[in-house]
Amino acid sequence: MLTAQLPEFNVDRDEDRCIQCRVCERQCSFDVYGYDVQNNVMIHKEENCVACQRCAVLCPTNALVIKENAYTYKQNANWTREAISDLKKQSETGGVLLTGMGCDKPHKIYWDHILINASQVTNPSIDPLREPMELRTHLGRKPDSLEVKDGKLSFPDYPKVELSTPIMFGAMSYGAISYNSFKSLAQAAHEYGTLFNTGEGGWPKELRKYGSNTIVQCASGRFGIDLEYFNDAAMVEIKIGQGAKPGIGGHLPGEKVSEHISLTRMIPEGSDAISPAPHHDIYSIEDLQMLIHALKEATDYQKPISVKISAVHNSPAIASGMVRAGADIIVVDGLRGGTGAAPKILRDNVGIPIELALAAIDTRLRDEGIRNWASLVVSGGIRNAGDIFKAIALGADAVYVGTPALIALGCTVCQKCYTGKCAWGITTQDPYLTKRVNTEIGTQALVNLLRAWSLELKELLGCGGINSIESVRGNRLQLRGIGLESWEMETLGIRGAGQ
Amino acid sequence: MKDLSKVNNPYGDDKVISQCSIFGMMNTTGEVFSGKEIITAIRNMHERGNGLGGGFAIYGCYPDYPDDYCLQVMFDTRANREETEIYLKRFFHIQHSEEIPTCPTEVIKNPPDVYRYFVQPKVEELHEIISDDDIVIRRVMKINTTLDGAYVFSSGKNMGVFKGVGFPEEIADYFCLEQYDGYIWTAHGRFPTNTQGWWGGAHPFSLLDWTVVHNGEISSYGANRRFLEMYGYICTMHTDTEVVAYAIDLLARKHGLPVDTVMDIFSPPVWEQIDRMDPDDRKYFEVLRSTYGPLLLNGPFAVIIAHHGEMVAHTDRIRLRPMVAGIKGDMVYASSEESAIRLVSKDLEKVWIPVGGHPVIARLKELAKDDVVEGGRELLKAEGMEV
Ligand code: SF4
Ligand code: SF4
């Protein structure tokens, strides 16, 4: 059938440079390239191009430039090119539009409207290269008070996890991402002393040696779950929602369920792995309380239990309920949180930015005097150490990063994860593609990322005359807003720049 | 509700910032002595202040009323005083009251009226079971936050705070402090950068018999304050010293932790040091830091904290503000500058610069086996309870 779609990107090949080595053809997993043997030229099907840039990066002669197609409809602020092309796609297929990665709409990015303080004269800044600078973080419930009894300091011994830096890798399941990517995350978390999250797709046996650096998920599909799964991990997370698609579940198509994935998820090979939208045993807060306590029983009260929700309008009230239901850690994933596959309409329209949800939740828990009953972990749209510093100063204990970790592994945020054809070998199970992620190099890239961001966090602490991350946590006086309305600053609990 | 932060912090900055001189001296046998020496010592550090605040705390100065809470209150006007006295009479039995004697001088301008009241709380006014201390704190907070033109300097038993706008030696002259005797004295000279100076905002800061004189700027103020707010403390003054006073009240009085432990919470060792400790000590610090991490005082500070029986000199853990300690016989000294100690005590047995984050704690001999400890002390053993 004739499509009314125009190619989104153009492949611009410099024929003088091209040596017809056919690297681009082999690298492209979207079938853009072909080779005309008779004329010895490369040919293109541009309509297939997703601008993942794999070919351009690997082309030995730099002959390729992948560009946005310059075509234009009549300028229209309402009927944008994206709006027209989405509508045409739907009229041709009659289906829900799918996409990958986080929301790409220009909703206000609050991180970019927040500025950080520094010391001048009245207090000295601290040089992190010469003085100790502490990022170590503990997650889990904290006692309300300590007590001296019979000359001893007595305290309720709540389970906790220790992180060398307040940065963890967020949930990405084996199945959604390739084995090599998954293993790289596990190894990097282990090497740097932080945690990675298995997501809901089970946990391969041979990776359990990294248990003290692993968070396992218990999601609505309950894949790969048994007693050992919980007890081998450092922490257990109940997944209620995800920022990219609040309120809906997931679907891993049967063709991706290989033998190893089937073993890991504990489902038959080739069968669809479906995660229902809600947990069918959690229809209310008291049901959540029961699951939290069931998991505490299953782990003999030795593991902190976290609950992950997506940031929605009444997150503060929900978070308060979760804490009172016994969650040791609450995780909130914002509007810009990533995904392997989500309906575009949900990804771009449902949920709220993490900055606002985070500030509102931290404030609410403090108002209720229960902030120390649970740690607060946030995710969704964090791009650099500055965002992390701001998140912690707004009140987070630590952050999860997903997309940044994938970018470190090669991802270029082309948003085509849902196709299963990721040319960078990350969100695919095709063995020809998955070997593109080398676990040794991948692990090193992830460790480098953690190291670089940790060093930058130390610089940010030092410039503010602070030598421990706990003195930044919730310290909103270190922040000022710029270009914000007063309701926004009120929600964030910060003053304006110059105030 | 009156907005004290506006009085004390007219530009509405995050917090009141000041750099200072501090001095403390204690006789560990409990023998009282006059204010002559401390006035000499703090005058010697004149250059560290700018005349916008000075003050003193004296322990053991009211032996005639040892069991009554002594409320030392400043008033802007007579009407303010009369209104406050009606309030006081409603909640307290007033055993004795008087205007605090002053010796007016040319340099002290526009002083408020300062009175003292020796009181016992009226329990019959309450419908709940709380301690006398809590009643006093509640009423003091109420006066400070709601009654116009009234502010309570101090509220402990057998102790008092005297402070105002001026250099400390001028404040001492004004309140005739040479005539008082006490076994612990602390003093403060102030260099505020963002307040014009308000009598209530000078140091020492006090809650019950705890007093704090503070030199520094607490960079963790925002984090400390929000943690304390969760425990019901309202930081009305928007000054970092206030959070130190409230943190001590929470930790030492409400949670019953010894002062050594409180100091370990304010300036714990860094994690790398903790990692190298033996398991018991490691546990102790791990528990302290993970429970009370938000009360770690970060940024440059030196404080002298006192209450009956104990005087503590303490700095931040990388010692960004000066502190010198000295001992001569039963006398223990702490000061921003060594010269000030030497000026009043010629041949000290020991004088030293304490390691950053290691408190120097002087105690009454009758209360402790060591009357002075610094670092190296035995830490509490931490024992986890099942949950
Ligand atoms: S990779 Fe580069 S040089 Fe090789 S065929 Fe493709 S465009 Fe030509
Ligand atoms: S993971 Fe792969 S498919 Fe997904 S956005 Fe990144 S490069 Fe594209």
Q: Is B275 on the interface with A (CB under 8 A)?
A: no
Low-confidence ranges of chain B (pLDDT < 70): 1-12, 14-19, 125-126, 193-196, 375-377
Q: How far is B191 from chain A (nearest CA, A)?
A: 11
pLDDT digits (tens, 9 = 90+) for A28-47: 999 999 999 999 999 999 99
pLDDT digits (tens, 9 = 90+) for B13-63: 766 666 689 999 999 999 999 999 999 999 999 888 777 888 999 999 999
Ligand closest to Cα of A406 equals 2
Rounded to a whole number of angstroms, the distance from the CA of B194 to the nearest CA of chain A is 11
Find how far residue A44's CA is from the centre of its chain: 34
Q: How confident is the model at residue A252 (pLDDT cuts 50, 70, 90)?
A: confident
CB contact under 8 A, A465 and B219: yes
pTM of the model: 0.93
- What's the pLDDT score for residue B92? 94
Task: Indicate which residue's Cα is closest to atom 2 of ligand 1.
Answer: A59
Task: Answer yes or no: are the C-beta atoms of B214 and B22 closer than 8 Å.
Answer: yes
User: What residue ranges of chain A are covered by domains with CATH 3.20.20.70?
Assistant: 137-496
Report pLDDT for B195: 64
Structure tokens at A167: 């940065």
Question: In chain A, what residues touch B290 (CB-CB under 8 Å)?
Answer: 138, 142, 160
Count of CB pairs separated by less than 8 Å, A with B: 137
Taking residues A253-265, what's their average pLDDT? 89
Which residues in chain A have their CB less than 8 angstroms from residue B230's CB?
Answer: 366, 369, 371-372
* CA-based nearest distance A106→chain B, Å: 32
What's the token pair of residue B147? 């009654």
Q: Is the CB of A101 under 6 A from ligand 2?
A: yes
How many CB atoms are closer than 10 A to CB B210? 26
Annotated catalytic residues of B are 20
- Of all residues in chain A, the percent with pLDDT exceeding 90 is 90
Q: Just give the CATH number of A9-95.
A: 3.30.70.20
Pairing between β-strand A152-156 and β-strand B381-385 as defined by DSSP bridges = parallel
Kindly give the distance from the C-alpha atom of residue A406 to the centroid of ligand 2, in angstroms, as a whole number: 8
Asked if B230's CB is within 8 angstroms of A369's CB, the reply is yes
Fold of A137-496: TIM Barrel (3.20.20)
State how far the Cα of A311 lies from the Cα of A299, in Å rounded to an integer.
28
Within chain A, which residue ranges are assigned CATH 3.30.70.20?
A: 9-95
For residue A177, what is the DSSP state? B
Do A426 and A409 meet the contact criterion of CB atoms below 8 Å apart? yes
Q: Which residues contact A284 (CB under 8 A, 6 or more apart)?
A: none
B51: left (phi over 0), alpha (psi -120 to 50) or beta: left
Q: How many residues does chain B have?
A: 387
B374: left (phi over 0), alpha (psi -120 to 50) or beta: beta
Residue B215: strand pairing partners? B302
Task: Check residue B3 and give its pLDDT.
Answer: 63
Q: What is the pLDDT of residues A85-123, one digit of tens each?
A: 999 999 999 999 999 999 999 999 999 999 999 988 888
Answer whether A119 sits within 8 Å of B229, measured CB to CB: no
pLDDT at B2: 64
Task: Judge: A470–B270 Cβ closer than 8 Å, yes or no.
Answer: no
